[in-house]
């Protein structure tokens, strides 16, 4: 044994525990005089009654010589002079293949209060995005199992997509279809800010038993503190990164990134940040790219990410929608008018785009998709004239074609929620649809 090393270790060991004291609680924030801690570190707040476990809180800022904490849970039991102890570490969760089929909270605990399986590893939830020079190009498509997406908006392994829609247009149902039908190895599903009743409904109806077997569901409901909603997104992303680094092809499905931004806004306002664009604080627009850039392809595996974006009043120029659209590799616009007509999934193909489609599909697939889009665009431009009977057949050959093929295109783009088509099936159906054009 090296005596010098042992002596040095003893000399550097702090034999005292240093505590701080709660000074005041203002809204969401707890002010404490000490202990020494860095931004992002987790602290324990020891309550006066000492019957339950200490309350977890995170350092989110400083104010002169005071530290500002935000708790992961409610602050009902916190009072003046409660002791604050720093763990010296950021939030760490347990990760491993034993989590498959489990439903956990933002801190990595089972929601059914059962113990986590053994053999899991510690993993820090906040990681840096990969170096851009280590990211391989996206060159291979991933099967989504939805005809409209595989055929006209093909997604690549490691691509990041935004699903933009107002409330009640079918975002969560589409996520369930992707989770069940996709050929990814593992699904990590983050339900952020959801209504409590919708969690079990999504798991049992939209995801189903088969989907849950290869999924890990992270839940932070709308009644939980803002920090828990934000950490739900970070925890789900960290779990995805863990499996990606072990060579898996992972689907990350987050519903919704808008509620993550709203949680960050709450924290920013409580910490004293000025509200800027529509009440959102600068930290919201700084944190979004850091979170979204963590997903994608790496040298070992891929994370194909789908983020739902809730747009108030179907306004696609909402500041969060605008910021997210600029970061991601494509956007699918879900149209309320299509949903009202019973067209499901209600994806507006002409307003949607997959930025990597031309790099991952062959030339024949591109031509088929372009021909379908052209027919749809011609019909859409003349929809009002056609519907009121003002257009006379034979006036324009292209419009006549678009009218003739509109019912077939509508049938191709609609799909029952429990209907499944593989990638090649979708391509073959497009060929059959268009090959009959001259008949």
Where exactly are the structural domains of the chain? Answer: 17-90, 93-361, 364-436
What mean pLDDT do residues 171-183 have? 88
Model confidence pLDDT, tens digit, residues 86-133: 888 899 999 999 999 999 999 999 988 888 888 899 999 999 898 889
Asked: is 93-361 a CATH 3.40.50.2020 domain? The reply is no
Please, what's the b/e burial string for 87-114 (b: 16 or more CB within 10 A of its CB; e: otherwise)? eeebbbbbbbeebeebbbbbbbeeeeee
Q: Which range is least confidently modeled, 3-12, 18-27, 255-264, 306-315? A: 3-12
Element (H, E) at 322: helix 319-327
State the pLDDT at residue 271: 78
Model confidence pLDDT, tens digit, residues 238-265: 999 999 999 999 999 998 899 999 999 9
Report the alpha-carbon distance of residue 6 to residue 423 in Å, rounded. 61
**DSSP code at position 65:** T
Fold of 364-436: Substrate Binding Domain Of Dnak; Chain:A; Domain 2 (1.20.1270)
Please, what's the b/e burial string for 30-56 (b: 16 or more CB within 10 A of its CB; e: otherwise)? bbbebbebeeebbbebbbeeeeeeebb
Tell which CATH architecture fits domain 17-90.
Answer: Beta Barrel (2.40)
Half-sphere exposure of 417 (CA within 13 A, CB side): 13
């Amino acid at each position: 044994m090296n005596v010098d090393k042992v002596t040095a270790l003893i000399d550097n060991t702090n034999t005292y525990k240093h505590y701080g004291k709660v000074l005041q609680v203002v809204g969401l924030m707890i002010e404490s005089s000490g202990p020494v801690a860095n931004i992002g570190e987790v602290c324990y707040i020891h309550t006066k009654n000492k019957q339950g476990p200490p309350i977890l809180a995170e350092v989110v800022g400083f104010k002169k010589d005071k530290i500002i904490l935000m708790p992961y849970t409610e602050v009902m039991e916190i009072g003046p002079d409660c002791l604050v102890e720093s763990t010296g570490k950021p939030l760490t969760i347990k990760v491993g293949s034993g989590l498959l089929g489990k439903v956990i909270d933002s801190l990595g605990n089972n929601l059914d209060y059962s113990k986590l399986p053994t053999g899991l590893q510690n993993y820090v939830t906040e990681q840096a995005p990969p170096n851009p020079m280590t990211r391989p190009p996206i060159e291979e498509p991933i099967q989504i199992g939805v005809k409209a997406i595989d055929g006209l908006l093909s997604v690549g392994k490691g691509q990041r997509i935004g699903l933009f829609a107002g409330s009640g247009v079918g975002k969560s149902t589409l996520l369930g279809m992707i989770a069940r039908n996709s050929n990814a190895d593992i699904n990590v599903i983050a339900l952020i800010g959801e209504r409590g009743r919708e969690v079990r409904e999504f798991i049992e109806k939209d995801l189903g038993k088969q989907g849950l077997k290869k999924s890990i569901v992270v839940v932070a409901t709308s009644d939980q503190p803002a920090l828990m909603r934000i950490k739900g997104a970070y925890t789900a992303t960290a779990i995805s990164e863990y499996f990606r680094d072990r060579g898996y092809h992972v689907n990350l499905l987050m519903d919704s990134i808008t509620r993550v931004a709203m949680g960050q806004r709450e924290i920013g306002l409580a910490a004293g940040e000025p509200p800027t664009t529509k009440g959102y604080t600068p930290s919201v627009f700084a944190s979004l790219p850091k979170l979204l850039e963590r997903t994608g392809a790496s040298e070992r595996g891929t994370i194909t990410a789908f983020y739902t974006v809730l747009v108030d009043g179907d306004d696609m120029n909402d500041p969060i929608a605008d910021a997210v659209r600029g970061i991601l590799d494509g956007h699918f616009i879900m149209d309320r008018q299509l949903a009202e007509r019973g067209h499901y999934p209600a994806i507006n193909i002409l307003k949607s785009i997959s930025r990597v489609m031309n790099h991952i599909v062959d030339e024949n697939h591109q031509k088929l998709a372009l021909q379908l889009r052209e027919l749809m665009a011609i019909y859409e431009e003349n929809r009002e004239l056609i519907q009121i009977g003002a257009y006379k057949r034979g006036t324009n050959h292209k419009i006549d074609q678009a009218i003739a093929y509109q019912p077939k295109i509508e049938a191709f783009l609609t799909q029952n929620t429990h209907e499944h088509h593989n990638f090649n099936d979708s391509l073959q159906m497009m060929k059959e649809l268009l090959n009959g054009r001259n008949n």
